[in-house]
Amino acid sequence: MTKFEEISPSDFFYRNKEIAGFENPAKACYTIVREFLENSLDACELGGFLPEIEIYMKSVSEEEKRLRIKVIDNGIGVPHDKIPLAFGKILYSSKYVLRQHRGIFGLGGKMAVLYSQITTNSPFRVISATPNNGYISFYELKIDILRNEPIILKRSKIINQNGWHGLIIECEFVGDYLLSKKKIFEYLFQTSIAVPYAKIYYQDYEGNALLFKRKTDKMPPIPEETLLHPRGVDLEMLKRLIKINPSLSLNRFLAKNFQRIGQKAAEEVLKLANIEFEKPVSKLSEEELTRLYNVMKSYPFKRPSADSLSPLGESFAIGIKETFNPEFLSYDMREPSSFEGHPFIVETAIAYGGDIPIPEQNEINLFRFANKIPLIYDSYNDVSMKVIKSINWNVYKLN
């Protein structure tokens, strides 16, 4: 007889670790640094605090490749009651809103602590304070993988004497530091170019200490939370929104939940879909829902607003200038554009001379970022690289 069973999200990710970048001890080590750093940067930027982040990589046992990482930031922290879920429940996140940040799945940081637990069976620690709060929270946690729930081993509050805010996370894991070290350094270096308003300090047990100084005090504005664009929505999402607002009439539902739909557009959409304006959303039949969805996909709405985006802007040029001191630098930010209801902005910079390292065989240094995150792997197969190589640079007196 075939046996069917259901698994929890934690269990699913435990069994499919490679999806989240934990396929081997070297990659895991790199991914953990990355996820913690990205959470920290998000937390600082959301609060408008100039990021000050420290990362310590210690060795617990060289023989067993057992490492301990500690990351300290000065961000908005996590409220006392939310700490266990934020770190102990997969797919729990404060970032399921339409606004650009680095996390989105409620997964990264938790995969790191989940991996820590399955390789060492030791708990992880979180210390945190939110701004203007009288106390600091301290937790020791594990994850119940089968039930996708946090297990609280220790919890306490102490008085916050100096008004500190931020978060400290500490965990032990099995990782191959020697094989991942170079990638980690490169990642930090490129991050410091894209986020020149951050101060990042990294120290490992071999005696390496890297300090990426803050190069500017100006931070890009905090992106705004925006509504979904009607074209960016799929049927499942539409059903979810209906469940949340069951009693709204259709025209109000559309105007309330989507950008670029006012009263007039709502009426036009409903006319095209041949649905009554005043009908409560919960009364929609499957066919009506499909018709509505199809009209939402094809109606000529205005482009999505770019307010939810957080382009690097001037910071990008500052990062490059301060890092490489180039002879020539040109920076460009394109007009916002969109794909299927999702806005994006392309930013590019080109520079030569100064302290830019000359790559092997006169190749080109191509740094790619998506969402302010350096893309470290595989730049040579990138379409930008192909374009750069197809340009006849001699015309510009460059070779």
Ligand X SMILES: Nc1ncnc2c1ncn2[C@@H]1O[C@H](COP(=O)(O)OP(=O)(O)O)[C@@H](O)[C@H]1O
Which residues would be at the binding site for ligand X (CB under 6 A)? 35, 39-40, 43, 73, 75-78, 86, 93-95, 103-110, 167
CB of 334 vs Mg ion, minimal distance in Å: 27
The reply to whether 93 sits near Mg ion by the rule CB under 5 A is no
CA 95 – CA 102 distance, rounded (Å): 9
The reply to whether 304 sits near Mg ion by the rule CB under 5 A is no
The reply to whether 88 sits near Mg ion by the rule CB under 5 A is no
* φ, ψ dihedrals at 219, nearest 5°: -105, 145
The secondary element (H helix, E strand) that includes residue 152 is: strand 149-159
User: Which residues, numbered 34-73, are part of the site for Mg ion (CB under 5 A)?
Assistant: 39
CA distances in angstroms from 241 to 53, 137, 368, listed in the order given: 37, 35, 35
CA distances in angstroms from 3 to 6, 13, 105, listed in the order given: 10, 21, 30
**Looking up tokens 């979904």, which residue turns up?**
228
The reply to whether 75 sits near Mg ion by the rule CB under 5 A is no
Question: Which CB sits closer to Mg ion, 105 or 352?
Answer: 105
The reply to whether 106 sits near Mg ion by the rule CB under 5 A is no
Question: Which CB sits closer to Mg ion, 108 or 341?
Answer: 108
Question: Which CB sits closer to ligand X, 96 or 380?
Answer: 96
Instruction: Please report the DSSP string for 270-298 in residue order.
Output: HHHHT--TT-BGGG--HHHHHHHHHHHHH
CB of 92 vs Mg ion, minimal distance in Å: 11
The reply to whether 100 sits near Mg ion by the rule CB under 5 A is no
Question: Which CB sits closer to ligand X, 77 or 150?
Answer: 77
The reply to whether 103 sits near Mg ion by the rule CB under 5 A is yes
Question: Which CB sits closer to ligand X, 27 or 110?
Answer: 110
CA 322 – CA 371 distance, rounded (Å): 21
CA 281 – CA 148 distance, rounded (Å): 33
311 binds, among ligand X, Mg ion, none (CB under 5 to 8 A by kind): none
CB of 87 vs ligand X, minimal distance in Å: 6
Q: How many CB atoms lie within 10 A of CB 287?
A: 9
Question: Which CB sits closer to ligand X, 170 or 172?
Answer: 170
Closest alpha carbon to 53 in 176, 214, 186:
214
Q: Provide the binding-site residues for Mg ion, judged by CB under 5 A.
A: 39, 103, 108-109
